[in-house]
Structure 1
Amino acid sequence: MKAAFITEPGPADSIQVAEQPDPTPGPGQVLIRVYASAVNPIDTYIRSGAIAMDLPQPFVPGCDAAGVVESVGLGVKGFAIGDRVWCTNQGLLGRQGTLAELITVDEGWVFKLPEPVPYEDAAACALVGVTAHLGLFREAQLTPGESILIIGGSGGVGSMVVQMAAAKGARVITTAGSEAKAQVCRDLGAEEVILYKEESIAEKTKAFAPDGVNVFWETRREPDFDTAVDLLAGRGRMVLMAGRDARPAFPVGPFYVKECSLHGFVMFKASPTEMKTAAEDISDWLASGKLSANISARFTLEQAAQAHALQESATLEDSSQLAGKIIVNLNTESLP
């Protein structure tokens, strides 16, 4: 099989693509022929060494994949050869990743993919979809009729949060850096979009929700707690999913007087049961059209280094080149 891999942490151009031995599923594992994978910011952090993890040698990066079950290991009962599936949470904590034509994945991290859903869409919605679901429903416990402000509604996670919140019956206001991105957010279900480069987030949010928003979803690496707490309603919930090195000031008094709560989480620490709960909703919503993939760029496996470079540029340099997910297509010649 062909795979994209590194032999040690380094820049995007350290990624090599070459033939590697086909993996064999061990007990409780599923062998998947991958048709689509996705690139996430965390993939670039691990590949570069910005987040230190013990890596197998050579190491295949990538968290997300969608494809078809090629074979199953001893004891696997939930999957059979030929099943359409998707997965996430790979390429982390010593696990091999998904930028390969064949991958082995523990059964507990694999989910059924309904027939109408394209492999690209499933891969694009995997990590970001599970992240959005955990943050909205396990952490913030969003309910119908509540209001939510999402910073960056056209991004990978943000676009999932917008759609899931709207599907839940919440009132959604979000931010965007251009009118084109604002229209993407409206199409995904946002009731109001703030063009943050020319409009005040605080003023527009207060006009939208005079008593404050119930949930404030922060996607930036440097949270603005003063603004967030000011905009939250009583017992409002703020969700954090980025900003590993941030150390911003925090308005303790206004926060506790309003009885607000702060929810920080990372999806790769979710249990298999929590992941499955999220995955079942995501698969159902993809099949019914309530959830759609926001794909911005496509690459081949041979272009894996370019895909990583684009993601890195968008994440670290705030590049405007990306307004959604990056997909890497594999095994296209034998696509069923």
Structure 2
Amino acid sequence: MKAIVHRDHGGPDVLRLVERDLPEPGPGEVRVRVAVSAVNPTDVQGRSGNHGPRQFPEVIPHLDGAGVIDAVGEGVDRSRIGERVWLYLAAAGRPTGTAAEFTTVPADQAVPLPEQAGFEVGAALGVPALTAHRALTVAEDGPRRLRPGSMEGKVVLAAGGAGAVGHAVIQLARWAGATVISTVSGPDKARLATAAGAHHVVNYREGDPAAEIRTFAPDGVDLVAEVALGANLALDLAVLRPRGTISTYANDGGKPVELNVPQNMVLNTRLQFLVLYTAGPQARAAAVADVAAAVRDGALPVGEAHGLPLIRFPLDRTADAHRAMERGTVGKVLVDVAW
């Protein structure tokens, strides 16, 4: 099979297209013929060495993807052969991700993908959608599971609504019945956040964004899903209601975070940091189940018309896909694996 590998940390040039033997699924595993592989920031960080020393002599990268199960290991129901699936955390703690014609994963990390959902939808789930679910389900007064109506009456602020996680936050919160406000940096991103389903969009670079947000949420927002905590914390606290939650999954820009302790004490702020790897199996399983339900409801479409442009590369240009991610390309970067 054709696969992308890297044997050293470094820039995109360390990625190589090679031929490898077809992998065999072990006990409890499935083998998937990959149709589309997705590139996430964490894939780029893993390739560059930001996640620490190499665990394996050779790595096939990428956590997320979608395709069709073509073989199963011992203990897995053979009726799953031929099933369309989306994959998550494929390369987490393993040397074999989705940047290949075939990959093997534990059977529960291959989630059924409805016929009406394209492989690009499946590949775009994984890290962004599961992270968004976690961000939306950690509030003291909020739901632990998402379903239609579970966030009725809540106000969610999706920071950076044109990003992949922000896009999923908007879609999942809207599906769950919340009022969704999104902050963006300009009109093009405002158009994308609106297309994703945000009820209100605020350009944080113009005027008084806190006052504008307060016009939509006079009592304050219940939950902020935050992508740049250091840069946005002052705005978040200015619009957060008492006992509200800031769920932070990144600190884009790297600005240090400075906390005004008395201010947060008075607000009874809940500040929740999150990453999928250490969220725990129960939280991940709940996220997978709820995201799968949202997909069945058609609530997580992708593409420019739905607020998430798709930037696609063939397998032999995976290095260019990583370069696009590093440039901060707006949208979802995908690698099409030739069938």
Structure 1 CA distance for aligned equivalents of residues 227 and 294 of structure 2: 23
Between 42-51 and 176-185, the greater mean CA deviation after superposition: 176-185
Listed one character per residue, the Cα deviations across residues 278-320 of structure 1 (whole Å, up to 9, x for unaligned) are 2232233223222212243001100100000110111xxxxxx
Matched, 1:87 2:87: yes
Q: What is the RMSD computed on CA atoms of the aligned residues?
A: 1.9
Normalised to the residue count of structure 2, the TM-score between the two structures is: 0.90
Q: How many percent of aligned residue pairs carry the same amino acid?
A: 33
Between 177-186 and 231-240, the greater mean CA deviation after superposition: 177-186
Conserved 8 A contact 1:56-1:96? no
One-letter code aligned to 2:332: K
Partner of 2:147: none
Helix, strand or coil at the partner of 2:291: helix
Partner of 1:317: none
Listed one character per residue, the Cα deviations across residues 11-66 of structure 1 (whole Å, up to 9, x for unaligned) are 01111111112111111111110001100000000100122154322111101011
Partner of 1:70: 70
Partner of 1:214: 222
Unmatched 5+ residue regions in structure 2?
A: 144-150, 303-307
Partner of 1:297: 311
Structure 1 CA distance for aligned equivalents of residues 247 and 78 of structure 2: 34
Partner of 1:203: 211
Superposed counterparts of 1:82-231, under 5 Å: 82-138=82-138, 141=142, 143-220=151-228, 222-231=230-239
Please report how far the alpha carbon of residue 273 of structure 1 lies from its aligned counterpart in structure 2 after TM superposition.
Answer: 4.1
Conserved 8 A contact 1:154-1:182? yes
Structure 2 CA distance for aligned equivalents of residues 62 and 199 of structure 1: 40
Structure 2 CA distance for aligned equivalents of residues 43 and 329 of structure 1: 16
Structure 2 CA distance for aligned equivalents of residues 78 and 137 of structure 1: 35
Between 226-235 and 244-253, the greater mean CA deviation after superposition: 244-253
Between 243-252 and 193-202, the greater mean CA deviation after superposition: 243-252
Conserved 8 A contact 1:311-1:326? yes
Structure 2 CA distance for aligned equivalents of residues 288 and 68 of structure 1: 21
Matched, 1:263 2:272: yes
Task: Count residues in correspondence.
Answer: 325
Structure 2 CA distance for aligned equivalents of residues 42 and 279 of structure 1: 19
Partner of 1:282: 291
Change (3 A) 1:292 1:194: same
One-letter code aligned to 1:167: W
Equivalent of residue 337 in structure 2, options 327, 330, 334:
330
Structure 2 CA distance for aligned equivalents of residues 57 and 190 of structure 1: 44
Structure 2 CA distance for aligned equivalents of residues 221 and 37 of structure 1: 29
Structure 1 CA distance for aligned equivalents of residues 61 and 200 of structure 2: 37
Unmatched 5+ residue regions in structure 1?
A: 315-321
One-letter code aligned to 1:310: A
Runs (4+) off by over 4 Å: none
One-letter code aligned to 1:276: A
Change (3 A) 1:130 1:26: same
